[in-house]
Structure 1
């Protein structure tokens, strides 16, 4: 990697130190006063969220799947129970200064003990599908060796309970909770970790058998790369561009090895990766902004999409990194063939657009949520879905995350009124509906998140759930958005 590229990546990281999509320090001045507005969640900006023009006219395909999503470290708790080992998020969150208020996932939403109650909530919502993740250190405490039967039994109970309630399980193998023992051996910088992941995946495939119809391999490898190795505000807390993109390669390799491991079992289940995709737009009409946007898109989207769906990394990104980069030097013969092992579907996660300036920086164009990195732009959902189909062909797509954090509180009447979340979801559902009409093979949509949970470096300050969690008592209260979503599911439309 050239010194110039290293400096540029670190500069981008510095501009983005509190965001999952970068914001320039001069963003507010450039984007204008309107863009600095934070969206409230009690009263939506356009009035009653149920009073959509043409309400009742947007019907989704008859077999469309409606769901919700969570991840293991964010909800399970039981951090030291039944043979679970330490993960990098246990280490990171227990390190002073790493998370807001020093919060950890030690208890989280206590889903490990309250899973049956939570499955009843899913049944009552009418969910068709539940996307959750398996905790790697719950299956292999040190990331290797014989699987922990108590861990497998928990997920067997969960999967069986979902089927009993008519909800299809969609299981993610890796949602960032790498066993600490593997991190001590080099983590995702160590090529061997990809092979250890394949062994772990095989153990889970064989442990849960044919009861899981859809598997997702690696959740948001880009977030691990950027937040964990460029910006350093996620585990393992590094700031090293040279390491970051080698990590990207090994995560992609792990994905491909897991796909092959599933095929080797003879399973007929479907499998694919889960990518958070950010549509990138030029901040102005200059050729320089267009060129900078193309490269930015390479790092944000094409690095992951191209390798899995075309079997090659984007040439402009490789050239920008340089021949001396650890990524380029780390690609072994046959790696891209493994990474591009045929998949059955692509999981897309959409939260925000990115507007790129001529110098490769970013600006804000739209109002943000409580997560300051998230610009509210439903049109981006349409753009990213149609772009994937246009550029990569009709690979089946499932939306596995889309949602909004709100400052939810329990009212005097015991309810939680999150009208702004309803407006947000309504507009994004409508954008997805337009994408389907435009020919996108979108099969299902999973709201993030089912429950309020541990929001990584933000601890418990941000609430993303359809269901409110009182962390002191672990009481669950379906929010207004949950009741609205139940009706959307029942109507199969808006």
Structure 2
């Protein structure tokens, strides 16, 4: 028998996330003002290999292509951030019409493709002109953010329903204001960092109020802190309690925790433990401040990448456990253990009893284009599957999770690490700006299309063999791909009834047999079309389609483009390589 039902609840949102500075490029075009990141990347020895986000993925000019890729994957919602200084070049005052025009065009393109826009108002690219006035340390900063929110709501809320105020204060304050690794590169004392954090929370409250009072469509509002969660090293009750305690704890001297940031938003007060630990460095918050921060919102965004294992120590306090030597890690050296998407949401939901949305979850791997022209990121594929199975288990146990957004849609500029890390479902060649859907994108496509049912094939008991009819059906498809067979053909070969075969196949794999046949044929076709000299008619015949017209119709429906359009992107790449080879042959010094 296969595992339990893995279908996600009705209305569950399947999405992908990005942020403005990491993908847009066009850093000084069309009236955009500078952000702290635009200045920070120009400082010597701050960035990996001196790389910048001046071009990044060139999404500003290529957004229609990127939306088409989202539609091809089947993504239902796209969470992106606005560049504050693209809309208000000086942070306040005059609105940049070109910036508004860009985001209007992006929103319209998303809606045209059936993709729900989710706007994040702030994802770290603070306007440089406001930074010169003290940035988040300035007591006027919440008012500046309120003004910016008002402009965004005025121009976009007639089509946008979903709003996220601020992304990961622990990140832009901890890395950018305390440790100095990120923009603006400050190393403030703890007291000043907590003051900047308090102003950030006030800005969140003012922003929520503006959205709620002025949005033209009924809004759904959340915010998205970094979720610092822990997992038990064993399933013992002691270790589970240790993981819960570690998730809720405040750690001296640093900003990386969950409760200091999220308690004020949902519970209306800083945690007592935090006030005790931070002591005199804690901000002087008034009752009016806490009431403003504690605006009613609709969900808590959870950004979960790795969840550190802990155990209960001999003294009754949580103790971190070193990763086992065989435990896989990402290129960031983060654990790829997927149980974090069970324990993180479970503990956060226990404390706040509010709906959750996984706003960021993914991993950085050493992705490359293979000799066949494809990107076989099997590690990311396995990570997505494992994380979603863990998340489904949390939902079954009563955790109210409303959506999952993969980080990220495409490889992008990874802050001070430049282009060293690749998190995307879409591979980006940062020199040519070519995009390639990775193997994980097709896995996610199947998960979305089946609303999670396809995950079932990964839940069976590993000690139980694959059912004979399932194994033989899969073998028959692989061995006879060029033949025009169907479910009835395979059933006759296996001497069983087509309905029985289809039912058994879906029960075990979570995917219908007819759908599996179509996907195998299309995968074969995609691999062949990566050869720019391959004739489309030959591909159609070899992959078992009845004729070229039927092949084109099926390919366009599944891939969002014709076979010819798919093939041309590889032909263009080959032409570019040939041109470069000719230039080198003419001048050996050309590199």
Give TM-score scaled by structure 2 length.
0.70
1:258 paired residue among 207, 215, 220: 207
Pairing of 1:35-184 with structure 2 (within 5 A): 54=2, 57-184=5-132
Paired residues of 1:215 and 1:272 also in contact (CA < 8 A): yes
The answer for the alignment partner of 2:586 in structure 1 is none
Greater length-normalized contact order (CA 8 Å, ≥ 6 residues apart): 1
Deviation at 1:307, TM superposition (A): 0.5
CA distance in 2, matches of 1:270, 1:59: 24
Q: Shift of residue 62 of structure 1?
A: 2.6
Name whichever of 470-479 and 356-365 sits farther off.
Answer: 356-365
Q: What's 1:46 paired with?
A: none
270, 274, 278: which one aligns with 2:224: 274
Q: What is the CA distance between 1:63 and its match in structure 2?
A: 2.0
Partner SS, residue 405 of structure 1 = coil
1:332 offset after TM fit, Å? 3.6
Deviation at 1:225, TM superposition (A): 2.1
CA contact (8 A) 1:214 1:269 kept: yes
Quick one: distance in 2 between partners of 1:146 and 1:203?
Answer: 10
Specify the SS of the correspondent of 1:127.
coil
Encode CA deviations 1:236-284: one digit per residue, 9 max, x unaligned.
Answer: 1122222211121111111111000112215411111112212136889
8 Å CA contact retained: 2:228, 2:247: no
Verify: 1:216 aligned to 2:164, yes or no.
yes
Deviates more, 1:153-162 or 1:274-283: 274-283
Give per-residue Cα distances to partners, 1:348-378, cap 9 Å, x unaligned: 1101223578899956435463343522232
Q: Deviations over 1:102-134 (max 9, x none)?
A: 111100000000000000001111111000000
Equivalence for 1:314: 271
Deviation string, structure 1 residues 326-361 (Cα, Å, up to 9, x no partner): x423x2441111111000111111012235788999
| Aligned counterparts of 2:333 and 2:272: Cα–Cα separation in 1 | 28
1:487 aligns with 2:487: no
Distance 1:139 1:119 in 2: 21
- Structure 2 match to 1:435: 394
SS in 2 for 1:255: helix
Structure 2 residue aligned with 1:3:
none
Tell me, which stretches of 5 or more residues in structure 1 are unaligned? 1-52
Q: Which has the larger radius of gyration?
A: 2
User: How has the CA–CA distance of structure 1 residues 259 and 288 changed in structure 2, closer, same or farther, with 3 Å as cutoff?
Assistant: closer
Deviation larger for 109-118 or 435-444:
435-444
CA 1:386–1:154 in structure 2 vs 1: closer, same or farther (change >3 Å)? same
Q: Once the two structures are superposed, what CA deviation does each residue of 1:275-306 show, in whole Å capped at 9, x if it has no partner?
A: 22121368897999998775347950111121
Q: For 2:345, what is the secondary structure of its paired residue?
A: helix
The answer to whether structure 1 residue 302 and structure 2 residue 262 are counterparts is no
Judge which range, 246-255 or 65-74, deviates more: 246-255
Q: Which moved more, 1:135-144 or 1:351-360?
A: 351-360
Matches within 5 A, 1:422-461: 422-461=381-420
CA RMSD for the aligned pairs? 2.4
CA distance in 2, matches of 1:109, 1:71: 11
Q: Contact conserved, 1:227 with 1:234, CA < 8 A, in 2?
A: yes
Q: Secondary structure at the match of 2:340?
A: helix
Q: Offset at 1:210?
A: 2.1
- 1: CA distance between counterparts of 2:294 and 2:20? 27
Distance 1:439 1:157, change over 3 A: same
Counterpart CA distance in 1 for 2:410 and 2:390 is 24
Does structure 1 conserve the Cα–Cα contact (< 8 Å) formed by 2:229 and 2:247? no
Q: 1:349 is matched with which residue?
A: 303
Cα deviation, residue 313, structure 1 = 0.3
Separation (CA, whole Å) in 1 of partners of 2:249 and 2:5: 40
Whether the 8 Å CA contact 2:230–2:343 is kept in 1: the answer is: no
- 2: CA distance between counterparts of 1:305 and 1:223? 14
Check whether the contact 1:210–1:269 (CA below 8 A) recurs between aligned residues. no
Aligned counterparts of 2:244 and 2:91: Cα–Cα separation in 1: 44
Is the 8 Å Cα contact of residues 250 and 273 (structure 2) preserved in structure 1?
no
Deviation at 1:381, TM superposition (A): 1.5
**Pair 78,360 (structure 1): closer, same or farther in 2 beyond 3 Å:** farther
**TM-score of the superposition, structure 1-length normalised?**
0.84
Q: CA, structure 1 residues 101+299, in 2 after alignment: closer, same or farther (shift >3 Å)?
A: closer
Judge conservation of contact 1:369–1:404 (CA < 8 Å) in 2: no
CA change 1:451–1:290 in 2 (3 A) is: closer
Aligned partners of 1:436, 1:354: CA distance in 2, in Å? 21
Once the two structures are superposed, residues 40-95 of structure 1 have per-residue CA deviations (whole angstroms, 9 ceiling, x without a partner) of: xxxxxxxxxxxxx9479411113221111100000000001011111011111111
Q: Is the 8 A contact 2:329 2:336 kept in 1?
A: yes
**What is the aligned partner in structure 1 of residue 572 from structure 2?**
none
Q: Aligned partners of 2:233 and 2:8: how far apart in 1?
A: 34
State the number of aligned residues: 438
How much does 1:314 deviate? 0.4
